[in-house]
Amino acid sequence: MTDIGHLWYPYTQMKHMKAPFHVTGADGVYMHTDRGDLIDSTSSWWCMIYGYRNEEICRAMAEQAMKLPHVMMANVVHDGARDFSDRLAEILPGTLNHVFFSDSGSVSVEIALKMGYQYFVNQKKPRKKILSLKNAYHGDTFMAMSVGDDEDFHGAFPKNPDVTHIPVTIEALEDAFRKEGEQYCSMIVEPLLQGAGGMKMYDASFLKRARELCDEYGVILIYDEVATGFGRTGHRFAADLVCPDIICLGKALTGGHIGHAATVANDRVYSGFWSDSRSDAFMHGPTFMANPIAMAAGLKSLEIFEREHTLEKIKNIEMIVKRELEGFHPEGVKETRAMGSAFAIEAENPADLAGFQDFAAENGVFARPFLDVQYGMLPSIITEEQIKQVIDVMKAWWTDRRNRG
């Protein structure tokens, strides 16, 4: 039996938990573990966009910690909060320029859903239904769970009757709006790439039609770009292609070096709370919102993103991955797909992935398959040789099956 001590681990049946990887340090693309130095193909749940221990970000955080490690945001402000919100407003498209900080991606989604609901309450025209997608994942807080669609994550909890989940097709989208469009307060999507739902990828034409229908019916369109933002799809933001009313950012927001998130609303949404009535105010306030250390990390991360041409690096990763996966269709593999720094090898039978994590570690790669996919969400600093190592290990799992018995 694994000695787990007093820790309660995420997404794990503790009774049957395997021994965890013991990480003693990390640098660049590598985690230093009790099983050797491993290339982290997951970017630590998709957040370490520049790899581990980026010296510039670490230095900015350390310097800030010695000046002002934290201060609440209740009628208080500090330079980092102003500077980072200004920079986000500058780089985001449209009028996405009203920044509400929080401490995790799930909370940023919760905030966006509250904004979408209260907007109509403030207009004295309440709507309560929400449109979401099948295979969606938006976080683990209660309302964020309800707009997700994954029994593996949220099966213990009842479905919310006010949330409609549709497949990612324009036909289903149009049908949903035709039936209930005037009842929706919000529509929420992971644009272009559905992460925890199975690394499912789709075309921007769906977003374009969603934008048109949301405008027609007055529905607030929310993008959950916690995972997809900052180049992960090969675009700086999916919002650059089709602009939403609210965008949720997290993970790579701080270069992955400290937890933080932002929910950014456009002028239309913000104006719905601008009032002489206190009851119209947005009553939400995380203790650690706009934490100064996180703001320092975020500002430095944005600087690095632009200076180091991160988007071009991610597009190069996509090119290499597609080349390496081209024509790979062994027995047991249903499909391969790639977008930006993300890729997936989908199994026909999820049971065929049992044991892959240990196999990968034996070959120098940390991997975390889930549902029916082997996947990578690679850091922008990864080399071509390292990409090939990650993909070769995944391929070998299929091509060497007979040799493993």
* Predicted pLDDT of residue 404: 63
Average pLDDT over residues 80-93: 98
What CATH number does the domain containing 322 carry? 3.90.1150.10
**pLDDT > 70: percent of the chain:** 99
Q: Clarify whether residues 318 and 346 are in a common domain.
A: yes
Closest to 28 (Cα-Cα) out of 42, 56, 48:
48
User: What's the pLDDT tens digit per position in 112-162?
Assistant: 999 999 999 999 999 999 999 999 999 999 999 999 997 777 778 889 999
Q: Clarify whether residues 74 and 92 are in a common domain.
A: yes
Domain range enclosing 95: 55-307
pLDDT of residue 403 exceeding 80: no
Average pLDDT over residues 3-18: 89
Distance CA 67, CA 59 (A): 13
- Which of 252, 283, 307 is a domain's end point? 307
pLDDT of residue 37 exceeding 90: yes
Looking at residue 201, the DSSP 8-state letter turns out to be E
- The answer to whether residue 3 is domain-embedded is no
For residue 248, the cross-strand partners are 224, 263
Per the document, the length of the chain is 405
Average pLDDT over residues 78-92: 98
* Predicted pLDDT of residue 402: 64
CB contact burial 93-123 (16+ within 10 A = b; e otherwise): bebbbbbbbbbbbbbbbbbbbbbbbbbbebe
* Predicted pLDDT of residue 401: 79
Q: Clarify whether residues 117 and 230 are in a common domain.
A: yes
Q: Which one of 50, 52, 119, 137 is the catalytic residue?
A: 137
Measured between alpha carbons, how far is residue 233 from residues 147, 194, 230, 318, 377 in Å?
22, 11, 8, 9, 10
- The answer to whether residue 103 is domain-embedded is yes
Q: Clarify whether residues 46 and 90 are in a common domain.
A: no
- Which of 288, 307, 326 is a domain's end point? 307
- Residue whose tokens read 């965890």: 20
Tokens standing for residue 336 = 């391969």
pTM listed for this prediction: 0.97
Distance CA 262, CA 101 (A): 4
User: What's the pLDDT tens digit per position in 344-354?
Assistant: 999 999 999 99
Distance CA 377, CA 110 (A): 24
* Predicted pLDDT of residue 348: 97
Q: Clarify whether residues 260 and 125 are in a common domain.
A: yes
- The answer to whether residue 231 is domain-embedded is yes
Q: Which one of 9, 11, 215, 392 is the catalytic residue?
A: 11
Total number of domains constituting the chain: 2
Give catalytic status of residue 223 as yes or no.
no
Give catalytic status of residue 83 as yes or no.
no
Q: What is the separation, in whole angstroms, between the first and last Cα of the chain?
A: 26
Q: Clarify whether residues 314 and 302 are in a common domain.
A: no
Q: Clarify whether residues 253 and 327 are in a common domain.
A: no
Q: Clarify whether residues 177 and 313 are in a common domain.
A: no
Average pLDDT over residues 56-63: 98
* Predicted pLDDT of residue 189: 98
Closest to 64 (Cα-Cα) out of 292, 342, 356:
292
User: What's the pLDDT tens digit per position in 369-386?
Assistant: 999 999 999 999 999 999
Q: Clarify whether residues 232 and 302 are in a common domain.
A: yes
Indicate the pLDDT class of residue 4, thresholds 50, 70 and 90: confident
- The answer to whether residue 119 is domain-embedded is yes
Q: Clarify whether residues 73 and 215 are in a common domain.
A: yes
pLDDT of residue 3 exceeding 80: no
Report whether 136 contacts 147 (CB < 8 A): yes
- The answer to whether residue 87 is domain-embedded is yes
Range of lowest pLDDT (5-19, 108-122, 158-172) = 5-19
- The answer to whether residue 8 is domain-embedded is no
- Which of 283, 307, 331 is a domain's end point? 307
Give catalytic status of residue 27 as yes or no.
no
Distance CA 379, CA 47 (A): 9
Distance CA 106, CA 86 (A): 23
Q: In the predicted model, what is the mean pLDDT of the chain?
A: 96
Distance CA 381, CA 252 (A): 14
* Predicted pLDDT of residue 405: 57
Q: Which one of 149, 150, 224, 352 is the catalytic residue?
A: 224
pLDDT of residue 340 exceeding 70: yes
| E strands present in 34-183 | 36-40, 98-102, 129-133, 163-166
Q: Clarify whether residues 224 and 260 are in a common domain.
A: yes
- The answer to whether residue 1 is domain-embedded is no
* Predicted pLDDT of residue 342: 98
Distance CA 291, CA 101 (A): 9
Q: Clarify whether residues 120 and 65 are in a common domain.
A: yes
Closest to 102 (Cα-Cα) out of 249, 202, 231:
249
- The answer to whether residue 7 is domain-embedded is no
Q: Which one of 129, 200, 251, 395 is the catalytic residue?
A: 251
What CATH number does the domain containing 120 carry? 3.40.640.10
Give catalytic status of residue 11 as yes or no.
yes
Average pLDDT over residues 210-218: 98
Distance CA 127, CA 93 (A): 27
